[in-house]
């Protein structure tokens, strides 16, 4: 079990490893910043119970919905890529890149 100083030091160290999402959220309110960084909106309709769950989790974690959803999306995309690559390799004996690039080169 962690003692108090270990817990405090760990928490503070992890705080430093996070980017500054508050600054990004503020910059996103400026249309010029959005344009300058070529940012695109991702938006979808969701059931109210899912929205309430999202808002509750964000509140507990003290993060914005944008920050939470960005992290979730990055995680989901990484996991989808890993699963796709593993299944493709197992099924074909080749990586997707090997097959894809071979087709590109033959065209």
**Residue whose C-alpha is closest to residue 64's, from 72, 73, 55:** 55
pLDDT of the residue at 3: 83
pLDDT of the residue at 19: 64
Cα 31 from chain centroid (whole Å)? 23
For the chain, give the longest Cα–Cα distance: 63
> Among positive and negative, which fits the CA dihedral 53, 55, 58, 60?
negative
Domain range summary for the chain, segments of one domain joined by +: 1-37, 42-107
Tokens, residue 89: 């390799």
pLDDT along the chain (107 residues), means of 10: 79 71 73 81 95 96 89 95 96 92 72
Cα-Cα-Cα-Cα dihedral of 87, 91, 94, 95, to 10°?
A: -20
Q: Considering the entire predicted model, what is its pTM? A: 0.70
Do residues 74 and 85 lie in contact, with contact meaning Cβ atoms separated by under 8 Å?
no
pLDDT of the residue at 82: 96
pLDDT of the residue at 25: 73
In 10 A of CB 23, how many CB atoms? 9
């Amino acid at each position: 079990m962690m003692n108090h100083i270990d817990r405090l030091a760990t928490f503070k160290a992890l705080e430093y490893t996070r980017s500054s999402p508050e600054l990004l959220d503020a910059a996103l309110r400026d249309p010029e910043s959005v344009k300058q960084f070529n940012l695109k909106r991702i938006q979808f309709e969701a059931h109210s119970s899912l929205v309430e769950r999202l808002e509750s989790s964000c509140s507990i974690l003290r993060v914005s919905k944008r920050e939470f959803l960005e992290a979730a999306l990055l995680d989901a995309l990484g996991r989808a890529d890993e699963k796709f690559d593993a299944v493709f390799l197992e099924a074909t004996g080749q990586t997707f890149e090997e097959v894809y690039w071979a087709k590109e080169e033959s065209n």
